[in-house]
Amino acid sequence: MIKRSFNDIATWVNGEAVGLDNAPVEVAGVSTDTRTIRDGNLYIPLVGENFNGHDFVKAAVENGASGALWQKKQPNPPADIPLIYVEDTLLALQDLAKNYLASLPAKVVGITGSNGKTTTKDMVTSVLATTYKVQKTEGNYNNHIGMPLTILRLEEDTEMAVLEMGMSGRGEIELLSMLAKPEAAIITNIGESHLQDLGSREGISEAKFEITAGLRENGTFVIHGDEPLLTDKVTDSPFHVITFGNSKTNDFYPVQIKQKSDGTYFTINGEDETEFFIPVLGKHNINNALAAVAIAKQFGVSTPNIKKGLEMIKITGMRTELIQGKDGVAVINDAYNASPTSMRAAIELLQDLKDYKKKIVVLGDMLELGENEETFHYEVGKGIDFAKINYVFTFGKLGNKIAEGAKVNFSENQVFAYDDKQALIVKLKETVGEGDIVLVKGSRGMKLEEVVTALT
């Protein structure tokens, strides 16, 4: 984590340090939340529509903070606390992270995309960690506040930083890329997330492409080569473009694939004698692994170490997470988020699994899809293979549209639509038994992990 003097920090954020007579020699880490303050932290009070962190500066110091930033236009600054006056505390947080990162030897890999960002981040981290000291974005710290906080937690001797870059609209990824200045960048894919705000997949592609804004000269740009919305934009790219995907026109593609209950086995072109294994389900996750392989190769990681790193992946929770539940029922917890692309991939995964008695899907609303949201949900339901799935449960207003689509191919007594989550759980428990497997997936706001908890 950052360890710098108040004066150094003041210089980096273009601020004015005051009240330093009793200040410690250096700041040790930062926090924007008084509940997570550690001794020596610099408290950064952010201002939002419904909160003002300046109201809690004294509490932060009482909890161990060594001092705080203070926005100049905020009234009544405390006189007895080391402060650094700045124009805007959020911009100061970002400037502090940018300058701290620039002072480190760490090389940065930036990752964005509609689906698979977090899983790809975990995979890239795992393969690079076989050769380098690596730190990554933790949890969902991937926005204009979270990513600077991630950077400020990097140790001085970190060699590689793997940073996830999320967004809700245009300009956000550009900001993050300019802040991080990555040596390499990945776009995992272009899906339908944020259609409500960006209008089209083309608009989503343009927003994701902002990751190149800060990509260093001659940097490595890894993209999903089966996506024309990406490949069409790199025909005259100034970067070193590497493609991955299922097509043999890509630089990295799978040759043989075996899906088993413990994970996914595959070989790739150019490495025919090496069988790779990822302890995560789903053929779609092979693409995430290929992106990690591409990055690892660029940074000189050997094939044996890549193989080892993929085998040791620790995937962030609620992402195709296979859990052994109660009474012999297996659960695939994929409840963190959902879009049409990721939901179809998860359903395909369940359809391909063998050695289970009954296969059941529990699907919730996919949010932020814009004016065509009902059609997206209906088509997902219609696409479920009645020969490979036994029951379809849905939750939510839009989930009802999934149920309507499913009824095109399924009988009435195989499809159950609910607006009451507890009622769904009761019926689901009556339906499942030993040897069955249940896929649970929906957007974050649907909180379908509550269904997972009920089964486990």
Q: What is the pLDDT of residue 196?
A: 80
- Mark residue 396 as left, alpha or beta (left: phi above 0; alpha: psi -120 to 50; beta: remaining): left
> What's the rounded Cα separation, in Å, for the pair 451 and 147?
31
Q: In 10 A of CB 16, how many CB atoms?
A: 12
Rounded Cα distance, 420 and 168, in Å: 29
CA distance 199 to 189: 17
116 is in an annotated binding site: yes
Whole-number pLDDT of residue 331: 97
Domains along the chain with CATH numbers: 3-87 (3.40.1390.10), 104-311 (3.40.1190.10), 321-455 (3.90.190.20)
Q: Is 7 annotated as a binding residue?
A: no
Q: What is the predicted pLDDT for the residue at 169?
A: 85
Position 194 pLDDT exceeds 80: no
188 is in an annotated binding site: no
pLDDT, residue 61, reads: 94
Tens digits of residue pLDDT in 424-448? 999 999 999 999 999 999 999 999 9
What crossing angle do the helices spanning 117-128 and 284-298 adopt, rounded to 10°?
40
Q: What is the pLDDT of residues 84-139, one digit of tens each?
A: 999 999 999 999 999 999 999 999 999 999 999 999 999 999 999 999 999 999 98
Q: What is the pLDDT of residues 244-293, one digit of tens each?
A: 999 999 999 999 999 888 899 999 999 989 999 999 998 899 999 999 99
Tell me if 248 is assigned to a ligand binding site: no
What's the pLDDT score for residue 79? Answer: 87
Please answer whether residues 37 and 28 qualify as being in contact, where contact means their C-beta atoms are separated by less than 8 angstroms.
no
3-state secondary structure of 254: strand
Q: Residue 25: is its pLDDT beyond 90?
A: no
CA separation, residue 329 to residues 95, 431, 432, 435 (Å) = 50, 11, 7, 6
* Residue ranges with strand state E in 36-178: 42-43, 67-71, 83-86, 107-112, 134-136, 160-164
* Helix residue spans in 30-134 (DSSP H): 57-62, 89-102, 117-128
Nearest to 181 by CA among 103, 119, 243: 103
Question: Coil, helix or strand for 34?
Answer: helix
Arithmetic mean of pLDDT over the chain = 95
Q: How many residues does the chain have?
A: 456
Residue 225 has pLDDT above 90, yes or no: yes
Residue 113 counted as an annotated binding residue: yes
Rounded to 5°, the CA angle 245-247-251 comes to: 60
Beta bridge partners of 161: 108, 135
CA-to-CA distance for 330 and 455, rounded, in angstroms? 9
